[in-house]
Amino acid sequence: MSGNKILSVDRLTMRFGGIVAVQDLSFAAERKKITALIGPNGAGKTTVFNCITGFYKPTGGAIRLTHDDGKEIALQRLNDFRIAKQAKVARTFQNIRLFPGMTVLENLMVAQHNMLMRASGFTLLGLVGAPAYRDAEKRAIDLASDWLKRVNLLDRADDAAGNLAYGDQRRLEIARAMCTEPALLCLDEPAAGLNARESAALNELLLSIRNDLGTSILLIEHDMSVVMEISDHIVVMDHGVKIAQGTPREVRDDPKVIAAYLGADDEEAMAVMESGS
Amino acid sequence: MTAPSTHTTKPATSVPALLKTAVINAVIALVLFSLMVGVRTEAGSDGQLTYWTRFGELAYLVAAVFGGSIVIELLRQWIGPAGTEKLVPPAVQKGMSLVGRYLAPALLIFTLLVPVIFYDQRYILDLAILVLTYVMLGWGLNVVVGLAGLLDLGYVAFYAVGAYSYALLATNFGWSFWICLPLAGILAAFWGVLLGFPVLRLRGDYLAIVTLAFGEIIRLVLINWQDLTGGPNGVSGIPRPTLFGIPLDRSDDGLAAKLGIEFSPTHRIVFLFYLILALALLTNWVTIRLRRLPIGRAWEALREDEVACRALGINTTTTKLTAFATGAMFGGFAGAFFATRQGFISPESFTFQESALVLAIVVLGGMGSQLGVALAALAMIGGFELFRGLETYRMLVFGWAMVLIMIWRPRGLVGHRAPTVYLKKAQAISSDLVKEGHG
Ligand SMILES: Nc1ncnc2c1ncn2[C@@H]1O[C@H](COP(=O)(O)OP(=O)(O)OP(=O)(O)O)[C@@H](O)[C@H]1O
Ligand SMILES: [Mg+2]
């Protein structure tokens, strides 16, 4: 049944002491599609991401990832780094987490750690300078340059990541996540803090990741111009529960969604309704 | 460790703020010293409590703290890092970077020639060996603290494990130095991993405290396990190293006799000098190579942001363990060298003071910089000897020198980070961006 579903979240619950951040949440993300997770502030979106990527152990429920070859992985049983390494789920963070004291290129090399580790014979072959490792390193640099070209940062490759402008840092974080060659890319508010031009470029980038590479994307976003334009499917959360889902058109006309946003924040409600008109 | 750098961006403090800090410091000093200094208690002749007050001294101390706080705050502003950037003209900065480029090779060549230049000066040779030992320890600890950003206050434990490994293996089984050296390193690395497992999930201050305790535990075990370690008496009669089986002594099959030259005890000193130089350079070479391999990049990434590392699929536990084990291994090598040089070791050589000294070298050198660590070791150990003439004031002068250097260069002598890979041009990364780690 889950033939073209890459991720299915089943009755996910996350409790912090008395606070129920996510309650009985079920949704699915389709393969090679962009699924958006939206909702007012504090709805529990980031918490869902943290459960999917293993930074939180869910209080209840199941998260299942299905690879192209049909292999199923129960994410709720894996550690954070194994989810990235074995389940091939990559993510970015709401408050950017780069390696600021390393160069842009180094950031992308760290992302290819596991591949390079294997190629360096877990350091021993690399230490003696084996040619096999040098080739692998060259390929890693090529992949990194490729991504830098895509996100338009190639001429900043040797600059410290911490010196980049905010919008550039956001794009670098996406490039870094993509350098792990993920099956599922989870982006937590990638358009936050971007200007209109940058956010249009982001749309292009995400669409090309979906269309050209066939990577499935799970997206948290407040910027409705991004969400409505590129999402194939939208899941709306409020107070930890799902209140609606469907195509952008269906969601934007849903009275429950408008009510949730109205109750939360006028500006966002305006944004939802404007994008509907 | 973040303490010095947090002040760098602060705007110039106003006079009231300055006075406020000074008053607070003075009050703290008053509270502390009123019991420690102000009231003096002693057991009288019949065992009864006698006490008298020393309010005069107390007043001096509090006044000194008050004045000292003002002076330090002012120094911070005048020669603090914000000022130096502006004060030093670009031409001089350019010249400095030129010096920087040739400093390392020049230093290496000079070091290679030290036994030739100072052949007759035993004192300088001994001092040079001591400095090199600390350079090696500094480079070893640099892997853990400077690269991986793990604050290890018990590094001396691995130095001790290495020293005792060699001492016990050599005295009990008669194994040669060259067999024991790798064993000492492996054993130290093994202890590093053993300590690492329970400890590395701790972060920051907690990690520092537990490593500190580990260093003490090892020392206490060495003192109390009398049967094995000889307790406080230590191990004596540790064999001297041989040049591939040829001893460097007066005997007939000694090196001097074989070469047909007259025996001199300096031969052994020179040999020890080149031995520790080789060990230190090996440490340096391995560290530089490791930095450019995925494991080294993962260490630095770990220092920058551990959460991001895990999101990229890096197993942070094994990455930390390898850093710990690598640092410990170099500490073990240095320990084996120490044992063979001294011929006698006891737990007294492995106190917390040693850990603190090596850590100070790493921090002073600029965390992560190989050249900086070497310079810092030279400055610390050499400077310590330089101030020997000042007798009692040595520690005071030395402490002041350290405080001044840390105010002037809070990120250490060499504050730039060199990238490990580049597309077009390697650019040094300013230390303001480089994180110091938190775990
Ligand atoms: N580690 C935690 N401990 C305690 N409470 C938490 C924790 N993480 C999240 N929460 C709580 O869970 C709720 C949902 O937070 P979450 O960050 O998931 O919201 P969000 O939808 O991402 O909001 P935003 O749009 O502002 O990013 C909030 O009430 C938050 O306080
Ligand atoms: Mg969030």
CB–CB contact B304 A99 (8 Å): yes
Domain annotation covers residue B196: yes
How confident is residue B69, by pLDDT bands cut at 50, 70 and 90?
Answer: confident
- Of residues A267 and B157, the one with the higher pLDDT is B157
Contact B129, B271 (CB under 8 A): no
How confident is residue B189, by pLDDT bands cut at 50, 70 and 90?
Answer: very high
CATH number for the domain including B246? 1.10.3470
* Res A148 pLDDT > 90: yes
- pLDDT (0 to 100) of residue B258: 67
Q: What average pLDDT does the structure give for chain B?
A: 81
- Do A134 and A263 lie in one domain? The reply is no
Structure tokens at B129: 């060996």
Strand order in the sheet with A216-220: A89-91, A184-188, A216-220, A34-38, A233-238, A241-246
- Of residues A50 and A118, the one with the higher pLDDT is A50
- pLDDT (0 to 100) of residue A70: 81
- Do B303 and B416 lie in one domain? The reply is yes
274-333 in chain B: CB under 8 A from chain A? 286, 289-290, 293-295, 297-298, 300-301, 304-305, 307-316, 322
Q: What mean pLDDT comes out for the span A19-33?
A: 90
CA B384 from centroid of its chain's CA atoms = 14
- Of residues A241 and B35, the one with the higher pLDDT is A241
Helix (H) or strand (E) holding B365: helix B352-365
Using alpha carbons, list the distances in angstroms from residue B164 to B139, B327, B350, B365. 21, 17, 11, 29
End-of-domain residue from the set A125, A157, A181: A181
Using alpha carbons, list the distances in angstroms from residue B385 to A5, B378, B380, B403, B433. 71, 10, 9, 18, 35
For a pLDDT cut of 70, what percent of chain B falls above it? 87
- Of residues A220 and B404, the one with the higher pLDDT is A220
| A interface test, pick of B200, B291, B293 with most A CB neighbours within 10 Å | B293
- pLDDT (0 to 100) of residue B82: 47
* Res A48 pLDDT > 90: yes
How confident is residue A104, by pLDDT bands cut at 50, 70 and 90?
Answer: very high
* Res B235 pLDDT > 70: yes
CB-count exposure of residue A33 (10 Å: 0-12, 13-18, 19+): middle
**Rg of chain B, C-alpha, whole Å:** 24
- Do A186 and A253 lie in one domain? The reply is yes
Pocket of ligand 1 (CB under 6 A): A 16, 19, 21, 39, 41-47, 94
* Res A136 pLDDT > 60: yes
CB-count exposure of residue B339 (10 Å: 0-12, 13-18, 19+): buried
End-of-domain residue from the set A164, A181, A198: A181
* Res A40 pLDDT > 80: yes
**Cα separation of A91 and A70, whole Å?**
22
Domain annotation covers residue B10: no
Q: What pLDDT digit, counting tens, does each position of B376-420 carry?
A: 888 888 877 777 777 677 777 777 777 777 777 777 777 778 888
Helix (H) or strand (E) holding A20: strand A19-30
- pLDDT (0 to 100) of residue A107: 95
* Res B5 pLDDT > 60: no
Helix (H) or strand (E) holding B331: helix B316-342
CA of A170 to the centre of ligand 1 (A): 21
Q: Which residues are paired to B336 by β-bridges?
A: none
CA of B395 to the centre of ligand 1 (A): 52
* Res B183 pLDDT > 80: yes
Among all residues of chain B, which has the CA nearest to that of A99? B304
Q: For residue B146, what is the DSSP state?
A: I
- pLDDT (0 to 100) of residue B6: 38
Q: What mean pLDDT comes out for the span B334-359?
A: 89
End-of-domain residue from the set B78, B98, B114: B78
Helix (H) or strand (E) holding A29: strand A19-30
- Do B135 and B160 lie in one domain? The reply is yes
Domain annotation covers residue B85: no
- pLDDT (0 to 100) of residue B7: 40
Domain annotation covers residue B379: yes
- pLDDT (0 to 100) of residue B26: 87
Q: Which domain, by its residues, includes B419?
A: 90-425
Q: Which domain, by its residues, includes A57?
A: 1-88+182-276
B127-136, B175-184, B197-206 — which is least confidently predicted? B197-206
Q: What mean pLDDT comes out for the span A74-103?
A: 88
How confident is residue A174, by pLDDT bands cut at 50, 70 and 90?
Answer: very high
Q: What pLDDT digit, counting tens, does each position of B140-172 carry?
A: 999 998 888 888 888 999 999 999 999 999 888
Strands A34-38 and A216-220: parallel
- pLDDT (0 to 100) of residue B8: 40
- Do A103 and A237 lie in one domain? The reply is no
Q: For residue B415, give the nearest of B436, B400, B398, B396 by alpha carbon.
A: B436
- What phi and psi values does residue A236 have, to the nearest 5 degrees? -105, 130
CA B212 from centroid of its chain's CA atoms = 14
* Res B87 pLDDT > 50: no
**Which residue, chain included where needed, has tokens 């894996």?**
A78
**How many folded domains does chain A comprise?**
2
Q: What is the ipTM of this complex?
A: 0.88
Domain annotation covers residue B216: yes
- Do B198 and B300 lie in one domain? The reply is yes
* Res A262 pLDDT > 70: no
* Res B81 pLDDT > 60: no
Contact A176, B312 (CB under 8 A): yes
- Do A199 and A79 lie in one domain? The reply is yes
**Cα separation of B148 and A276, whole Å?**
50
pTM of structure: 0.82
Distance from CA of B430 to the nearest CA of A (A): 8
Structure tokens at B371: 């050249």
How confident is residue A103, by pLDDT bands cut at 50, 70 and 90?
Answer: very high
Of B290, B315, B419, the CB nearest to A103: B419
- pLDDT (0 to 100) of residue B322: 92
Residues with CB in 5 Å of ion ligand 2: A 46, 94
Contact B140, B283 (CB under 8 A): yes
**Cα separation of A5 and A33, whole Å?**
9
Domain annotation covers residue B83: no
Q: What pLDDT digit, counting tens, does each position of A178-200 carry?
A: 999 999 999 999 998 888 888 88
- Do A189 and A270 lie in one domain? The reply is yes
- Distance between terminal CA atoms of chain A? 36
- Do A187 and A269 lie in one domain? The reply is yes
A206-210, A247-251, B311-315 — which is least confidently predicted? A247-251
CATH number for the domain including A15? 3.40.50.300
End-of-domain residue from the set B30, B50, B78: B78
Domain annotation covers residue B4: no
- Do A171 and A125 lie in one domain? The reply is yes
A166-175, B357-366, B406-415 — which is least confidently predicted? B406-415
- Do A186 and A81 lie in one domain? The reply is yes
Q: What mean pLDDT comes out for the span A116-122?
A: 82
- Do B106 and B165 lie in one domain? The reply is yes
Domain annotation covers residue B9: no
Structure tokens at B352: 């917390």
**How many folded domains does chain B comprise?**
2
- Do A104 and A152 lie in one domain? The reply is yes
End-of-domain residue from the set A152, A181, A210: A181
Using alpha carbons, list the distances in angstroms from residue A1 to A4, A66, B429. 8, 12, 52
- Do A172 and A198 lie in one domain? The reply is no
**Cα separation of B233 and B259, whole Å?**
38
223-282 in chain B: CB under 8 A from chain A? none
- Do A214 and A264 lie in one domain? The reply is yes
Q: What mean pLDDT comes out for the span A73-80?
A: 84
* Res A123 pLDDT > 80: no
CA A32 from centroid of its chain's CA atoms = 13
Of A99, A141, A176, the CB nearest to B421: A141
A242-246, B71-75, B342-346, B431-435 — which is least confidently predicted? B431-435
Of B417, B421, B435, the CB nearest to A109: B421
End-of-domain residue from the set B52, B78, B104: B78
